[in-house]
C-alpha cells in the first residue's frame, strides 16, 4: 500500500498522464547554447531528453538502472550511481556556473554527469541555491533553465522539478524568509519563458495540500505576477532583466554613455544607448550620475540639463525615475561635499532649475532631506563618525557586548549623529545572518533606554527608508527586511504605532520607503503579529527564541517552588530582554492557571509592574497572547477561560492593562 501511495505522489503524477504537458522546445539553430536569454518559442523535439525518453514513467529517484551504473559519458568517470552521488557532484557544477556565468560549460558538465532521470532534482537544486542568493544568481538560474530546456531538460522533467520545489516550500521557508515570493517569481518566469505551460499552475494546485505553502506560491505567481498588466515585462525585469548585467556593469555602461555624450554632444546617440541598455527600472542611476557629472564639471552642465530635460519630455526617463535619481543624490550629498565643497549649493540650483522648467516634480523640494542639521554639518566629521561607527558595530557583532558598545558610542561625543548610527547599524545587519539582525534589534531596544531619543530613532529610520532603493541594489529583500526592523521596533516599544504615521509623512508618496512603512503596518496588524515578528530572527540578545523561553520558564518554576520575589525580579532584569517581557507575562499566566498557588504567580506580576520592570504595553501584549491561545489552552485546562477572565479583571482593577484586552 505504501509503495502504491508513493507512486501517486504529486511529483510522480507530474511524470505520468495526470500532469502530462506537451513536449516542446528545440536547441538553438546553430546547435549551441544561448548565453543571453531572450523570450522564445520552443519547437517540437522528438529525440533525446525532450522527446522519446519522456514517454516512460519516472524511475525511483533513489536508484539508477543497472545499465547506467558503469556508463561513462564524454570520457568522464565521475558518473553518479545514486541520487546521493548525483547531489554531491551537482553542487560544484552550480557553484561554478554562479561564479563564471558560462552556460555552455554548465551544460557540458551536466551532460557529462549523465543520469537523465535525476534532472528534475537538478532543477530543484539550482533554484533552491539561487533563492538564497542575490538577484544576479536568480536571474542566472532562470537563464540557464531556459537555455537547457529541450536540449537537456525535457518538458516533463521541468514540471517535475518545479513540483518538487512546491512540495518543499515549507522547508525552504525555514532558511529563506521570503521563499514564497521568490519561488512564485521563478514559477511566473518559467511560464513567461515558455519552459512551463500556464496549465501547470492549475494541475499542480490540484495535487498539493489545500493550505500548504506550495499553494500560496501558486496563488502569488498567478495574482501578483501573471495577472498583472504587462506581466511578461514585469517578471523579466524582476531580477535585473534579460540583459544579464550586474549592477556594477550597468553603472559602468551608464557612466561611459554619459562621458561619451559630454565629449560628442550627440543627444540622439545618447538616447539610443540609454534605450539599448534595456533598463528602464534603473534610469534613476542615469539621473544621479548625470547630475554628479554636471557638478564635477560645470562646463558640462548645459549639456546634462538638456539631456535630462529632453529625456523627460520624450518619455525616455519617467518622472518617477527622475525624482528617484534626484532623491538618491540628495541622500549622498554629504559624501559628495567631501570632493565638491559647493555640492550642496550646486545641487539646490539644479533642483530649482529642474522644478521651474517642469521636468522634476515640484513636491521634491519639500521631502528631499530628513534632517537639515545633519546635511549641513561638517563633511569631515560625518565621515569620521561613519568610519568609527562601522568599527564599533563590527566589534559588537563579534562580542555581543552592549555595555561596551554604549561606552564606545558615548566616547564619540556626537549625539547629533545618532540617526546616522542607526542607519549604519541596520544596513550592516541586513547584509548578514539572522543572528546579527536579531542583535541589531536588541541593541536598538537597549539604546532607546540608554542614549537614543524617539526623535533620533525616527530620523534614523527616515534616513534608511529614503535610501531604500539604493539598499535594494545590494540586498535582495531589502523592503521586507526594513519592514521587519520597523515592525520589530514597535513590538519592542522603541517606537509607538503613531510614529509610523509620522515617518510615513516624511517620505515621498508611492516611494519604496513609504511602501515599506505600509508593509510594517500590515505585519503589525496580522493575527499573532507580536510573536511572529519576535521570531523572525531568532529572539533576543543573540539567543535563540527557545533558549530565551527556556530561561524564563526555569526562573518562574524556581520562584513558584519557594523562591524569593526579589530574586525572581532580578533574574528577569538579568535576562536583559525588556522587549521580550511579554513572554514572562504569558508563561506566568499559563503557570497560574495550571498551579494551585496562582496568587503567588500573580504577586510576581504585580511586583514587576509596580517596579516598572514590565511596562503596561508588555503586560498587555502578554495578556493578548494568552487570549489568542485560549482555544488550545482549554484542551489541557478546561476552566482556562474563566481563570483568564478573573486575571483580566484583577489586572484591569490594578491598572496593569490597556483597555484593548478587555
Dist CA 329 CA 66 (whole Å) = 64
Confidence of residue 447 (pLDDT cuts 50, 70, 90): confident
pLDDT at 151: 64
The CATH number of the domain covering residues in 247-364:
1.25.40.180
pLDDT at 495 over 50: yes
pLDDT digits (tens, 9 = 90+) for 142-194: 888 887 875 678 777 888 899 999 999 998 988 888 899 999 999 998 888 77
Q: What is the pTM of this model?
A: 0.36
pLDDT at res. 37 = 38
Per DSSP, the residues of 147-213 read: HHBTTTB-HHHHHHHHHHHHHTHHHHHHH-TTHHHHHHHHHHHHHHTTSS-THHHHHHHHHS-TTSH
CATH number of 545-654: 1.25.40.180
What pLDDT, on the 0 to 100 scale, is given for residue 526? 79
DSSP symbols for 413-460: --GGGHHHHHHHHHHHHHTS-HHHHHHHHHHHHHHHHHT--HHHHHHH
Identify which has the larger pLDDT, 559 or 66: 559
The pLDDT-based confidence of 56 (bands split at 50, 70, 90) is very low
Domain over 377-534 is classified CATH 1.25.40.180: yes
In the chain, where the domains are located: 83-237, 247-364, 377-534, 545-654
Does 26 score more than 50 pLDDT?
A: no
Q: Grid cell 561613519 — which residue?
A: 386
Per-residue pLDDT tens over the stretch 306-315: 999 999 888 8
pLDDT surpassing 80 at residue 528? no
Q: Is the alpha carbon torsion for 637, 638, 639, 641 positive or negative?
A: positive
CA–CA gap between residue 94 and residue 86 (Å, rounded)? 12
Question: 29-33, 369-373, 418-422, 625-629: which has the minimum mean pLDDT?
Answer: 29-33
The share of the chain scoring above pLDDT 70, in percent, equals 79
| CATH 1.25.40.180, applies to 83-237 | yes
Tell me: pLDDT of 53 over 70. no
- CB burial readout 513-539, b (16+ within 10 A) else e: bbbbbebbbebbeeeebbbebbebbbb
Top-confidence residue, 303 or 34? 303
Which of 244-258, 571-585, 630-644 has the weakest average pLDDT?
A: 244-258
Task: Tell me which range, 7-11, 183-187, 240-244, 508-512, is most confidently predicted by mean pLDDT.
Answer: 183-187
Equal fold, 83-237 vs 247-364 = yes
Amino acid at each position: 500500500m505504501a509503495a502504491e501511495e508513493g507512486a501517486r505522489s504529486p511529483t510522480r503524477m507530474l511524470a505520468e498522464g495526470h500532469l502530462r504537458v506537451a513536449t516542446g522546445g528545440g536547441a538553438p539553430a546553430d546547435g549551441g547554447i544561448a548565453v543571453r536569454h531572450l523570450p522564445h518559442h520552443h519547437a517540437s523535439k522528438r529525440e533525446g531528453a525532450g522527446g522519446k525518453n519522456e514517454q516512460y514513467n519516472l524511475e525511483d529517484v533513489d536508484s539508477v538502472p543497472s545499465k547506467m551504473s558503469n556508463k561513462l559519458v564524454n570520457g568522464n568517470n565521475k558518473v553518479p550511481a545514486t541520487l546521493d552521488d548525483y547531489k554531491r557532484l551537482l553542487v560544484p557544477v552550480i557553484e561554478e556556473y554562479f561564479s563564471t556565468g558560462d552556460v555552455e560549460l554548465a551544460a557540458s558538465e551536466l551532460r557529462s554527469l549523465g543520469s537523465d532521470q535525476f534532472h528534475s532534482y537538478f532543477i530543484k537544486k539550482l533554484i533552491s541555491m539561487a533563492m538564497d542568493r542575490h538577484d544576479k544568481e536568480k536571474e542566472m538560474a532562470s537563464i540557464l533553465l531556459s537555455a537547457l530546456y529541450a536540449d537537456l531538460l525535457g518538458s516533463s522533467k521541468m514540471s517535475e522539478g518545479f513540483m518538487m520545489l512546491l512540495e518543499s516550500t515549507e522547508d525552504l521557508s525555514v532558511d529563506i524568509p521570503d521563499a514564497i515570493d521568490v519561488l512564485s517569481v521563478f514559477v511566473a518566469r518559467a511560464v513567461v519563458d515558455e519552459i512551463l505551460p500556464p496549465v501547470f499552475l492549475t494541475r499542480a494546485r490540484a495535487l498539493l495540500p489545500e493550505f500548504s505553502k506550495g499553494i500560496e506560491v501558486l496563488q502569488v505567481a498567478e495574482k501578483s505576477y501573471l495577472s498583472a498588466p504587462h506581466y511578461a515585462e514585469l517578471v523579466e525585469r524582476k531580477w535585473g532583466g534579460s540583459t544579464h548585467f550586474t549592477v556594477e556593469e550597468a553603472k559602468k555602461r551608464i557612466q561611459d554613455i554619459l562621458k561619451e555624450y559630454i565629449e560628442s554632444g550627440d543627444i540622439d546617440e545618447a538616447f539610443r544607448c540609454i534605450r539599448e541598455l534595456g533598463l528602464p527600472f534603473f534610469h534613476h542611476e542615469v539621473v544621479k550620475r548625470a547630475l554628479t557629472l554636471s557638478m564635477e564639471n560645470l562646463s558640462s552642465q548645459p549639456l546634462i540639463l538638456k539631456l535630462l530635460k529632453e529625456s523627460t519630455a520624450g518619455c525616455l526617463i519617467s518622472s518617477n525615475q527622475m525624482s528617484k535619481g534626484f532623491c538618491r543624490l540628495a541622500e549622498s550629498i554629504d559624501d559628495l561635499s567631501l570632493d565638491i565643497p559647493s555640492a550642496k549649493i550646486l545641487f539646490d540650483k539644479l533642483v530649482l532649475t529642474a522644478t521651474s522648467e517642469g521636468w522634476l516634480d515640484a513636491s521634491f523640494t519639500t521631502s528631499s532631506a530628513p534632517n537639515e542639521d545633519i546635511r549641513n554639518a561638517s563633511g569631515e566629521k560625518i565621515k569620521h563618525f561613519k568610519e568609527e561607527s562601522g568599527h564599533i558595530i563590527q566589534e559588537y557583532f563579534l562580542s555581543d557586548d552592549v555595555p561596551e558598545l554604549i561606552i564606545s558610542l558615548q566616547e564619540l561625543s556626537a549625539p547629533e549623529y545618532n540617526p546616522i548610527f542607526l542607519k549604519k547599524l541596520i544596513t550592516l545587519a541586513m547584509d548578514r545572518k539572522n543572528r546579527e539582525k536579531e542583535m541589531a534589534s536588541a541593541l536598538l531596544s537597549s539604546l532607546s533606554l540608554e542614549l537614543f531619543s524617539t526623535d533620533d530613532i525616527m530620523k534614523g529610520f527616515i534616513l534608511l527608508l529614503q535610501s531604500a532603493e539604493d539598499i535594494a541594489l545590494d540586498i535582495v529583500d531589502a523592503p521586507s527586511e526594513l519592514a521587519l526592523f520597523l515592525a520589530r521596533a514597535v513590538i519592542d516599544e522603541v517606537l509607538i504605532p503613531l510614529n509610523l504615521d509620522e515617518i510615513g509623512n516624511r517620505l515621498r508618496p508611492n516611494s519604496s520607503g513609504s511602501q515599506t512603512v505600509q508593509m510594517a503596518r500590515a505585519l503589525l496588524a496580522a493575527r499573532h503579529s507580536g510573536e511572529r515578528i519576535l521570531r523572525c530572527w531568532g529572539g533576543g540578545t543573540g539567543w535563540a527564541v527557545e533558549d530565551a523561553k527556556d530561561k524564563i520558564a526555569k526562573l518562574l518554576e524556581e520562584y513558584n517552588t519557594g523562591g524569593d520575589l526579589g530574586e525572581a525580579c532580578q533574574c528577569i532584569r538579568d535576562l536583559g530582554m525588556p522587549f521580550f517581557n511579554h513572554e514572562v507575562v504569558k508563561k506566568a499566566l499559563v503557570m497560574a492557571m495550571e498551579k494551585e498557588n496562582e496568587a503567588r504567580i500573580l504577586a510576581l506580576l504585580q511586583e514587576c509592574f509596580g517596579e516598572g520592570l514590565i511596562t503596561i504595553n508588555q503586560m498587555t501584549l502578554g495578556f493578548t497572547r494568552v487570549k489568542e491561545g485560549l482555544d488550545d489552552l482549554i484542551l489541557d485546562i478546561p476552566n482556562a477561560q474563566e481563570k483568564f477572565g478573573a486575571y483580566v479583571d484583577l489586572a484591569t482593577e490594578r491598572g496593569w492593562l490597556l483597555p484593548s484586552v478587555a
